[in-house]
């Protein structure tokens, strides 16, 4: 959480040397990302007009990819990176894990999102998660206490990191089972990487094999990814850390975003429930998750491990057609804008986990992008 810039950049290029990982294998065929018309994009911030190169330098962005209708409109690299360089995802992995859970639901491996978490993770019996269902975990609305502060050594997020660093199987789950209840399930949003760790436990029980293999078979190979990915584990030979640590190339993250933009369809076949993306980005059905209604996170809202913005508001009969995003600390992001058919991927090395200056400038860039392409 507090690496110097040099250590940060060097480590992000080879996170497999920092944590144990498992390989997510690509398939035998690579699906090309065709080149579209080049886009020259400028944005206004702090009273000045700036371009992409200035944005990347000011925000320590090491990779930027813009797809429109599946075609590359912008692609830039910095800090010695290229198209074959993997980069950590941090919490962008949460959205990948959500998609995997949707696939397991579609395949009948999970009965329902209303199913109690303890049906699949019985080690949580007797804990604060005993009355919590899968949907509430996906929405980070379990009512279980959690502090996500990345710089506070006593926060649950940092204590979970210490449990992971111990390298003992089951240690992180034991930590989660000891947390207290602070609210009724389904009534309060509380951002928690621990909740997504439980998504990984639920998935592992449902699919009965390593999540990296499931991801490879269901997405990485069928989508024609260019490179293997690496997924961080909670211990050597342990469980994939569903809330973080999926290390992949810029273009492959773009392919994942395009898959979500396409409503979970591969070669004409739905591999997600038909309404999964709408349900995941719903800005209407759950008042405590609506954009602008979550304390400390306005103007954003939250869905199934996706941030929502409600901009533009949903049309009649729709619940989640506006801009939505996967957001990770230190500047890892996927922004998906269905109206303009665009996917923007950013991979960065911000100086702090949540660098407010970078947050504000990135918002200005995304606003300019939406305006230019809509």
Which pLDDT score, from 0 to 100, does residue 314 have? 74
pLDDT digits (tens, 9 = 90+) for 123-179: 999 999 999 999 999 999 999 999 999 999 999 999 999 999 898 999 999 999 999
- CA pair distance 174, 78, nearest whole angstrom: 41
The dihedral of CA 220, 370, 327, 94: what is its sign? negative
CATH, residue 24: 3.40.710.10
- Within 10 Å of residue 56's Cβ, how many Cβ atoms? 19
Predicted model pTM: 0.97
**Helices 156-165/193-207 angle, 10° precision:** 50
pLDDT digits (tens, 9 = 90+) for 68-119: 999 999 999 999 999 999 999 999 999 999 999 999 999 999 999 999 999 9
Which pLDDT score, from 0 to 100, does residue 23 have? 98
Which pLDDT score, from 0 to 100, does residue 320 have? 64
pLDDT digits (tens, 9 = 90+) for 23-61: 999 999 999 999 999 999 999 999 999 999 999 999 999
Average pLDDT, the chain: 96
Question: Which residues constitute the domain of residue 141?
Answer: 5-373
Closest CA to 243 of 92, 99, 354, 138: 92
Q: How many domains are there within the chain?
A: 1
Whether 133 and 113 have beta carbons less than 8 Å apart is answered as yes
Residue 311 pLDDT class (50, 70, 90 cuts): confident
Residue 361 pLDDT class (50, 70, 90 cuts): very high
| Token reading at 209 | 């094999």
């Amino acid at each position: 959480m507090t690496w110097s810039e040099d250590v940060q950049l060097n480590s992000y290029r080879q996170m497999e040397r920092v944590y144990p990982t498992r390989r997510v294998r690509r398939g035998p065929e690579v699906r090309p990302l065709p080149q579209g018309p080049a886009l020259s994009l400028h944005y206004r911030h702090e009273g000045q007009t700036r371009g992409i190169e200035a944005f990347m330098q000011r925000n320590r962005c090491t990779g930027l990819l813009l797809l429109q209708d599946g075609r590359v409109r912008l692609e830039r690299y910095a800090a010695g990176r290229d198209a074959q360089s993997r980069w950590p995802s941090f919490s962008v992995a949460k959205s990948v894990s959500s998609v995997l859970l949707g696939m397991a639901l579609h395949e009948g491996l999970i009965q329902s999102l209303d199913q109690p978490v303890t049906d699949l993770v019985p080690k949580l019996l007797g804990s604060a998660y005993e009355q919590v269902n899968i949907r509430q975990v996906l929405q980070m609305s379990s009512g279980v206490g959690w502090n996500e502060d990345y710089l506070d050594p006593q926060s649950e997020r940092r204590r979970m990191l210490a449990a992971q660093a111990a390298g003992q199987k089951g240690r992180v789950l034991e930590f989660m089972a000891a947390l207290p209840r602070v609210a009724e399930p389904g009534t309060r949003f509380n951002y928690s990487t621990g909740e997504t760790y439980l998504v990984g436990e639920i998935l592992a029980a449902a699919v009965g094999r390593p999540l990296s293999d499931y991801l490879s078979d269901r997405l990485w190979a069928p989508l024609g990814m260019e490179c293997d990915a690496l997924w961080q584990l909670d211990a050597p030979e342990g469980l994939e850390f569903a809330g973080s640590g999926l290390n992949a190339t810029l273009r492959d993250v773009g392919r994942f975003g395009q898959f979500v933009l396409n409503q979970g369809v591969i070669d004409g076949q739905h591999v997600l429930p038909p309404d999964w993306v709408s349900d995941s980005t719903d800005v209407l059905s759950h008042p405590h998750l609506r954009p602008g209604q979550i304390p400390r996170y306005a103007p954003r809202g939250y869905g199934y491990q996706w941030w929502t913005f409600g901009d533009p508001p949903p049309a009649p009969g729709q619940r989640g057609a506006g801009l939505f995003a996967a957001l990770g600390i230190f500047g890892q992001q996927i922004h998906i804008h269905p109206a303009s058919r665009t996917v923007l991927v950013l991979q960065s090395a911000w100086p702090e986990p949540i660098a407010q200056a970078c947050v504000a400038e990135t918002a200005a860039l995304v606003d300019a992008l939406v305006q230019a392409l809509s």
